[in-house]
Amino acid sequence: MALTSWKAFRFFDVAPIKLNDADKSILEQGNVSCITASADQVFVGSPDGTLRLLNQSFKTVQSWKAHDSGALTTIRHIPHSSLLITLAEDLPNEPVLKVWALDRPDKKTGIPRCLCTVAVTNGRKPFPVSAFAVLRDLSQVAVGFANGAVTVVRGDFIHDRGTKQRTVLETDEPITGLEFREANVTTLFISTTSRISTLVISGKGQGQPARTLDEHGCAVGCLTKDLHSNDIIVARDDAVYAYNPRGRVASYAYEGPKKLTAMYKDYVLLVSPPKSMTNAPARSFGGGQADDLFSTSNFTILNPDLKLIAHTEALPSQVNALFSAWGQIYIVTLDGKVLRYTEKTFQQKLEVLYQREFFVLAINLAQKEKVDSVQQNLIFRKYGDYLYRKGDFDTAMQQYLRAIDNTEPSQIIRKFLDNQRIRNLIEYLEELHEHHKASSDHTTLLLNCYAKLKDVDKLEDFIKSPGDLKFDLDTAITMCRQGGYSDQAAFLARKHNEHGLVVDILIEDLKRYEEALAYIWRLEPEQAYDSLTKYGTVLLEHSEDTNQLFIDYFTGNFRPKKDAVVEQEVTTEQQQGGIGKMATSAVQNLAALIPLPYMSADVPRTPGGTKTTQQVIETTVEDAYVEYKVPKPRAAFSSFVDHPDEFILFLEACIASSGLQEEDKTDLYTTLFEMYLQIASKKTGDDKTKWESKARKLVEEQNTRMGTSNILLLSHLSNFRDGTTLVREQRGLYFDIFRSYTAANDTAGAIKALRKYGPEEPQLYPAALAYFTSTEEILSEASSELDSVLKKIDDDGLMAPLQVIQTLSQSKVATMGLVKTYLSRTIERERAEIASNRKLISSYRTDTAAKANELETLASKPVSFSATRCSACGAPLDLPTVHFLCKHSFHERCLYVGAGDEDSDVECPKCANDNATVKAIKRAQEESADRHELFMDALGRSRDKFAT
């Protein structure tokens, strides 16, 4: 590549170093024979053999006579060490090489110690040294001469243990440059005025003759080494070349003569002599310097990697030395001036490139400098803005995409909101999602763009992108639904296990009720529950199988089903092509990737498409039972609004299932009872009787858990008297049953209740007596029953005759004829009872008089005892004998009288029990005489209050 196509910049700031006259004189042409530098020092050799060490201000820090004779023409510092090599020439004598240890000064003189001294041989031919090279470990030194010879010196220079020299090359052209390339094989690059050669010094191939790489050589000082790539750089009049042991690796044309070349970082430094000297015959060998003092030369800094000229300028004087130290480049001119070149900072370079709008170079520079991504993205952004201003929107977008990680998306989006740039906007929004930097607003905008372009393929590619989710799922689904892409929304929801959204889309958007039901049936129990309770009412209205799903789920028999087969009918419009085919084909392709719950009984509707029918044929296989917590049946009740028939089937199935809790049983029975009554209220004739019979049977069941209040309330609201009656009957509320009939003036019912419950509830008869005689109508209806009521009251003593008379006297319709038989029977019974009582009184009076006479006789007259046998043992009486006034006699031994008992305490054993009973009755009467509560209790429990 020719340098004419390279852009030139000023990436280096140049500044002269102010020197005083003494320091300046040291660097003038006549006082200096060579200059080199280390990282932090400058070494200057003079023609008299003196070596000077200069600091950053170019002031002499130390100097000494390095060589006693000859000019000091070559100085080399070993990098990362304190070793310095000097070489002095004193023709016709052999050049002398010395190694100095800068960190080991002599104790007496203070100058660095000379480690060894070696005279370099050239076959005793008096030719000047024209090139010099040394290995980094100082194990070998190569010296090139103007006669074309190269001598390699090997040995231990540091410890001065001897060296060996060998002339490794002899040519007819003078040696212009030497450089070692150290790798697995150490290669010596040798340049002459007419060729470039390589010689293996150590490693594989050692001992072989030199190999020519190029038939073109270079001038003295125009060969150097790139420390970064380890390539050899050669500057010739036509171009700059790079070599490795295999040959030329790169070149870039740069016309003009070259005097010096060096490397600084990855820059190639070139010094060109004045153009007037281009044809000077001696220049290639370094002659004519005295004539160049007042001639200008050019200094150029190249960056081969970026293909740019980092700096170029014309110098007022010829260059004597070019080197780098302290991280900067230095040039020493023949008149002793020193110029310092400081590289601009990275940011300063960018500003230079920005000003000239060289954004590509700025990007390459940033990548070469390996700056962080934030800095690089800033450059991409600036480049994009530049291209946008020029109207190159496509390329600008590419730059914005590269800077997407560190750019505020809204700034870019606003630039491309115009309809003509919508595809660029889509590209940017897609990249935002790829980098997981998109917000819900970005997803909304992207989907709106797809919808605006009607780009279904792009939309599907976006939602079906593999890997992690790159967008806000809820936003994407919402936008697809709003844009009419419900199938795509369903796909997204299904892909990311948003089962509730899938069902919502199938029902609310696509109206595919059978498919929604099939999808729910394939979910896990916990997932199916939410959708079933949410959309149960809608599904019951459109699908007959919904009720079975409810029954299975709430009875604990739910088992998720597997896939089914869907057969689609192809419409005429699809067969003929056109918009209908295009609209449905994309969705069908999408459906091929979706499990059955997506494949609808209706063809998906896309914007511009038409709706066609499909037939869903399910071949389902139930999975193994999945254990789940069965919810309370009450949770499903609200779903059956306006579906009473299905609700009744559901309730009956739940009641028939096992494992119900008591609370659930109450809910189910009560609700089912209510539904029976509700259906019965809307029916007539036999149908009404059928449903009331179901309700009655439900109440009669032994295991019914309905609350009494619930049954009574529901029966009352539905005017279902049998329900009220059954409840009261179960709870023994017979009087309430009878009263309900009387309250309704249902005489027949009252008579029926009296006959059925009267034996268990006698108080119904007094109530019936009052009711039957309440009105003429009731009396006429119950006239045949009135005598039996009065007879029952009379037979069981339920009411006193006076009470009967009082009850009847309160009625305006009762007559004496109604109670004539009752009164006659009562009077006769009372008369018979009076006669019986009189007889008892006479008998009691006779017994009392007899007892009184007996007591008197016992108290006043002697009693004779005629018993001959003991009343206890039956043996003949013998003394001692005990006789009692009751005519019983006993042996004294048969009475078991205690030693301390008095005679008055002895009691007849035969009469003791009867006497004890009498005493107990008497004592009880005495004790209860003052306990009135006992009397009141007995009065309350007695049927005949007067007899208490």
Least confident residue range of 65-74, 253-262, 321-330, 877-886:
877-886
Listed by start position, the domains of the chain span 1-21+259-343
3-state secondary structure of 448: helix
Which pLDDT tens digit goes with each residue over 690-714?
A: 887 887 787 777 445 676 777 777 7
d(CA 313, CA 298): 6
Per the model's pLDDT, the better-predicted residue between 282 and 632 turns out to be 632
Cis peptide before 174 (omega within 30 of 0): no
From residue 703, alpha-carbon distances to 138, 175, 666, 698 in Å are: 110, 121, 10, 9
Residue 256, φ and ψ in degrees, nearest 5: 125, 155
422-434 helix and 456-463 helix, angle to the nearest 10 degrees: 10
DSSP states of 127-182: --EEEEEE-TTSSEEEEEETTSEEEEEEE-TTTT--EEEEEEEE-SSPEEEEEEE-
pLDDT class of 8 with cuts at 50, 70, 90: very high
User: Which phi and psi angles does 141 have, rounded to 5°?
Assistant: -130, 135
Residue type, 542: H
Determine which helix (DSSP H) or strand (DSSP E) holds 118, and give its type and residue range: strand 112-119
458 with 450: CB under 8 angstroms? yes
Q: What is the pTM of this model?
A: 0.59
Cα 306 to chain centroid, rounded: 47
In this predicted structure, the answer to whether residue 342 has a pLDDT above a threshold of 80 is: yes
pLDDT above 70: residue 37: yes
For 443-468, b where at least 16 C-beta lie within 10 A, e where not — what string?
bbbbbebbbeeeebebbbebbeeeee
pLDDT in tens, 143-181: 999 999 999 999 999 998 889 999 999 999 999 999 999
* Local confidence band at 579 (pLDDT 50, 70, 90 cut-offs): very low
pLDDT of 3 > 50? The answer is: yes
Predicted confidence (pLDDT) at residue 446 exceeds the cutoff of 90: no
Could you tell me which of 639, 636, 632 has the C-alpha nearest to residue 660? 632
pLDDT at 194 exceeding the cut of 50: yes
Confidence at residue 833, expressed as pLDDT on a 0 to 100 scale: 86
**pLDDT for 938 beyond 80:** no
Predicted pLDDT of residue 597? 38
- The residue among 59 and 793 whose pLDDT is bigger is 59
CA distances from 738 to 140, 226, 544, 725, 754 (A): 135, 123, 47, 9, 7
pLDDT computed for residue 731 by the predictor: 62
Say how far apart CA 293 and CA 316 lie, in whole Å: 9
User: What kind of fold does domain 1-21+259-343 have according to CATH?
Assistant: Thrombin, subunit H (2.40.10)
**How far apart are the C-alpha atoms of 475 and 444, rounded to whole Å?**
6
Ramachandran area for residue 626 (φ above 0: left; ψ -120 to 50: alpha; else beta): beta
Measure the CA–CA gap between 779 and 941, rounded to whole angstroms. 32
Q: Find the largest Cα–Cα distance for the chain.
A: 199
User: What is the mean pLDDT of the segment spanning 100-113?
Assistant: 92
Q: Highest mean pLDDT: which of 40-54, 425-439, 451-465?
A: 40-54
Identify any residues that bridge with 261 across adjacent strands, giving them in sequence order.
270
Burial of 773 (0-12, 13-18, 19+ CB in 10 A): buried
The tally of CA atoms less than 13 A away on the side-chain side of residue 220 is: 22
Q: What residues have CB less than 8 Å from 766, skipping those under 6 apart?
A: 793, 798, 799, 803, 807
Dihedral angle, C-alpha 513, 517, 523, 526, nearest 10 °: 100
Following DSSP, what letter does each residue of 857-883 receive, concatenated? HHHHS-------B-TTT-PBP-SSEEE
Which candidate, 180, 276, 264, places its Cα nearest to that of 230? 180
Rg (CA), the chain: 65
Range 636-639 contact pairs with CB under 8 angstroms and sequence separation of 24 or more: 636/532, 636/533, 636/536, 636/550, 636/554, 637/671, 638/537, 639/532, 639/533, 639/536, 639/537, 639/540, 639/550
Report the distance separating Cα 252 and Cα 48, nearest Å: 41
User: Measured between alpha carbons, how far is 837 from 815 in angstroms, rounded to an integer?
Assistant: 32
327, amino acid identity: G
Query: 803-829: per-residue pLDDT in tens?
Result: 777 777 777 777 676 677 777 878 888
- Give residue 777's pLDDT: 79
Q: One-letter amino acid identity for 182?
A: E
More confident residue, 344 or 872: 344
Q: Treating both helix axes as pointing N-terminal to C-terminal, what angle do 440-453 and 473-482 enclose, rounded to 10 degrees?
A: 30
Assess whether pLDDT exceeds 60 at residue 583.
no
What 8-state DSSP symbol labels residue 505? Answer: I
Q: Which of 904, 882, 884 is nearest to 895 (CA)?
A: 882
The pLDDT of residue 736 is: 72
**More confident site: 47 or 124:** 47
DSSP symbol at 508: I
Q: Is 30 exposed, middle or buried (0-12, 13-18, 19+ CB in 10 A)?
A: exposed
Q: Is the pLDDT of residue 609 over 60?
A: no
Centre a 10 Å sphere on the Cβ of residue 36 and count the other Cβ atoms it contains: 19
pLDDT, residue 599, reads 37
Range in 40-49, 616-625, 888-897 with the lowest mean pLDDT: 616-625
Q: Tell me 605's DSSP state.
A: P
906 vs 522, more confident: 522
Select, from the ranges 499-513, 573-587, 685-699, 930-944, the one with the highest average predicted confidence (pLDDT): 499-513
For 371-430, what is each residue's pLDDT tens digit? 999 999 999 999 999 999 999 999 999 999 999 988 899 999 999 987 688 999 999 998
Three-state SS at 640: helix
Is the predicted pLDDT of residue 336 greater than 50, yes or no?
yes
CB of 729 within 8 A of CB of 756?
no
- On the 0-12 / 13-18 / 19+ scale of CB atoms within 10 A, 10 is middle
User: Kind and range of the H or E element at 60?
Assistant: strand 60-65
Name the average pLDDT for the chain: 83
Residue 222: pLDDT over 90: yes
* pLDDT at residue number 897: 65
Cα of first residue to Cα of last residue in the chain, in angstroms, is: 142
Task: Give the containing element (helix H, strand E) for 324.
Answer: strand 319-325
**DSSP output for 334-394:** TTS-EEEEEEPPHHHHHHHHHHTT-HHHHHHHHHHHT--HHHHHHHHHHHHHHHHHHT-HH
Residue 447: which residues within 8 A CB-CB, separation 6 or more?
459, 462, 476, 479, 480, 483
Contact call for residues 698 and 677 (beta carbons, < 8 A): no
pLDDT digits (tens, 9 = 90+) for 60-86: 999 999 999 899 999 999 999 999 999
Lowest-confidence pick of 237-251, 453-467, 530-544: 453-467
Lowest mean pLDDT among 294-303, 707-716, 762-771, 848-857: 707-716
Cβ count near 147 (within 10 Å): 18
pLDDT of residue 657: 86
pLDDT for position 783:
74
Please name the residues in contact with 706: beta carbons below 8 A apart, sequence gap of 6 or more.
666, 669, 670, 673, 698, 699
Give the burial class of 496: count Cβ atoms within 10 A of its Cβ; 0-12 exposed, 13-18 middle, 19 or more buried. Answer: middle
CA 132 – CA 151 distance, rounded (Å): 10
Output the CA torsion 73→77→78→79 (10° steps): -140
Say whether pLDDT at 104 is over 80: yes
Q: What is the mean pLDDT of residues 92-111?
A: 92
Confidence of residue 877 (pLDDT cuts 50, 70, 90): confident
State residue 898's pLDDT score.
61
Residue 572 has pLDDT above 50, yes or no: no
Write the pLDDT tens digit of every residue in 744-780: 778 887 888 788 777 778 778 888 878 888 887 787 7
Residue scoring higher pLDDT (943 or 717): 717
Give the model's pLDDT for residue 147. 93
Per-residue pLDDT for 606 more than 90? Answer: no
